Amino acid sequence: MEEEYSVDPAQLLSAATEFANDPGAASDVSVKEFLDRFPLPAIINALQTRGDYPGLVDVLVDSLERVFRTKYGASLIPHYMPFIVVGLGADSQRIRYLACKTVSCLLENNDDTVAVHLISQYGVYPLLLDCLVQGDERVATASAEAIRNLAVSPKGLVIMFPSDSSEATNLEILAGKCSSMGRVRVLALIVKLFSVSSSVASVVYSSKLLGLLEKEVSNSGDTLVTLTVLELLYELAEVQHSTEFLSKTTIIQLLCAIISDASADSVLRSRAMMITGRLLSKENVFMFLDNSSFEAVISAISRRFDFLGSQDADECECALEALGHIGSSNQGATLLFSSSPPAARHVIDAAFDRQQRNKQLAALHSLANIVGEARNDIILTGDAEETLRRLIYEAASRTSKVLPSGLLLSVLQQDFEIRLAGYRLITGLVARPWCLMEIILKPEIIQIVTDTLTETQKIGMEARHNCCQAVFKSLTSSPNLVSDPAFAGVAAKLQEAIRRGPYLAKTRTEAQPAVMTAERF
């Protein structure tokens, strides 16, 4: 049998090198041509028996990866399942990597029922888990991706989470008995599975796997491990359906404890702030969490900010960003103004403090979120709106600018990034009548937001134009102001700027003759 499939390794190396390095994606045609010259059994045999031939294994792995990525190549995989099984347990990390990638190709390009049946029949899933915890970084990544692809299928989930879970496939047991690196990989897999869909997340939650993350977060003995788990939680917080399930755990309380722990590493506190901010910024968050959860997080961050003062700029910036995320929803923003003293004061004070640029930049963007720059429902409840107005006027009164219009103009006169944040802030604030009056009574602000030559970068042009539109909309929505002749010129200037669009539009100018005196020598 071996002789039937034996090939000249030198010829195979040459042909496989040419095929593997062919630019662009492989096509069904090119794969067929390659396999016509060197049948798949011959390549697999060479891979298993010619490991000592210099360079051959690496190039064959690259070639087979290209083969199986095509529709034609993937259609051959069901006929070579024994090869996958052997590959997943091979000593060579390169071959294990190829086997894991081949499983992904099987799942992505073949009938769901057939692919999952083959994985079950050949016992592939436990082998993938072994690759996850025992393989090198590339093998572990490829294995996790293959398992994720398996989880996409309801039939695949049955393999992964059977009713009579065995020790070989139970992720909780696996995490408990492998190395610290293997445990982190299992946790990363749980996060990856959680992100597949809400239904998969439900299975992960029901299997009590989020408890592994809780356990690691509460174990503060190893800062590096805790930070790694916090990074995984940050990924988890980005998933839309995360709040629904995390609200049923103690993770938010554990994160609050880290934020409040003065002895914890600053990096841990900063990351905990960012995670809670992301979690509490979800649109559906109030369906699963009550105000007390928000108030606990806001209080922890606010107390930490009070303690820091001007120390640790990085942690201060994270605190400001977290408050901005929380305040991105109407109800979250209202809670920032309802605490005593209002937590939003930190953001407002920092937004107009030019002593620390990065801190000011973070605060400006956070304040733009809080005042509703990206919300449909911009205006807050009456008490919250009054507190917002009072805090901004108080901030202005403590400076030489005296009024909010002076503060906002000062922001627009700074560097590009600060100015960009300023446009966002005005876009949200100007929906308030008091702020609208501040803006339209300050010609310098109107000049900046209507000048199409102010910005040279696309993002800046668009932010300035959005700001201009917001001011015009607010002005024209006020019957008393729009009919006042005193503001007719402002309205016309805003309307003309909007008509010209955001991108370097110039008003038309007639050519002017140049008259020069003759040069005399």
The domain ranges of the chain are 170-249, 263-399
| pLDDT of 4 over the 60 cut | no
For 448-468, how does the pLDDT look when each residue is reduced to its tens digit (9 = 90+)? Answer: 999 988 899 999 999 999 999
Rounded to an integer, the average pLDDT of 281-303 is 90
For 375-406, how does the pLDDT look when each residue is reduced to its tens digit (9 = 90+)? Answer: 989 999 889 999 999 999 999 999 888 899 99
Question: Token match 């390794």: residue?
Answer: 9
C-alpha 521/C-alpha 388 separation (Å) is 71
What's the CA angle centered on 405, arms 402 and 411, to 5 degrees?
100
Look at residue 432 in the predicted model and tell me its pLDDT: 95
C-alpha 253/C-alpha 87 separation (Å) is 44
For 194-230, how does the pLDDT look when each residue is reduced to its tens digit (9 = 90+)? Answer: 999 999 999 999 999 999 999 988 876 678 888 999 9
Look at residue 518 in the predicted model and tell me its pLDDT: 53
For 463-500, how does the pLDDT look when each residue is reduced to its tens digit (9 = 90+)? Answer: 999 999 999 999 999 888 888 888 899 999 999 999 99
C-alpha 342/C-alpha 302 separation (Å) is 9
Look at residue 331 in the predicted model and tell me its pLDDT: 92
Look at residue 311 in the predicted model and tell me its pLDDT: 67
Look at residue 517 in the predicted model and tell me its pLDDT: 53
Asked if 421 and 364 touch (Cβ cutoff 8 Å), the reply is: yes
- When pLDDT is cut at 50, 70 and 90, the band that residue 509 belongs to is very low
| pLDDT of 113 over the 60 cut | yes
Look at residue 339 in the predicted model and tell me its pLDDT: 86
Question: Token match 């990085």: residue?
Answer: 314
Nearest by Cα to 423 from 499, 361, 347: 361
Outline where 398-457 has alpha helix (H).
Answer: 404-412, 416-429, 433-440, 443-450
| pLDDT of 96 over the 80 cut | yes
Sequence-separated (6 or more) residues with CB below 8 Å from residue 241: 198, 201
| pLDDT of 120 over the 80 cut | yes
Say what percent of the chain tops pLDDT 70.
94
Look at residue 1 in the predicted model and tell me its pLDDT: 37
To the nearest whole number, what is the mean pLDDT of the chain? 90
Nearest by Cα to 371 from 389, 356, 383, 354: 389
The DSSP output letter for 237 is H
| pLDDT of 516 over the 80 cut | no
Look at residue 345 in the predicted model and tell me its pLDDT: 94
For 305-325, how does the pLDDT look when each residue is reduced to its tens digit (9 = 90+)? Answer: 887 765 678 899 999 999 999
The DSSP output letter for 377 is S
| pLDDT of 364 over the 70 cut | yes
Fold classified for 263-399: Leucine-rich Repeat Variant (1.25.10)
- When pLDDT is cut at 50, 70 and 90, the band that residue 2 belongs to is very low
pTM: predicted TM-score of the whole model, two decimal places: 0.84
Look at residue 253 in the predicted model and tell me its pLDDT: 94
Look at residue 3 in the predicted model and tell me its pLDDT: 44
Look at residue 463 in the predicted model and tell me its pLDDT: 96
For 5-63, how does the pLDDT look when each residue is reduced to its tens digit (9 = 90+)? Answer: 677 888 889 998 988 888 888 899 999 999 999 999 989 888 888 767 888 888 999 99
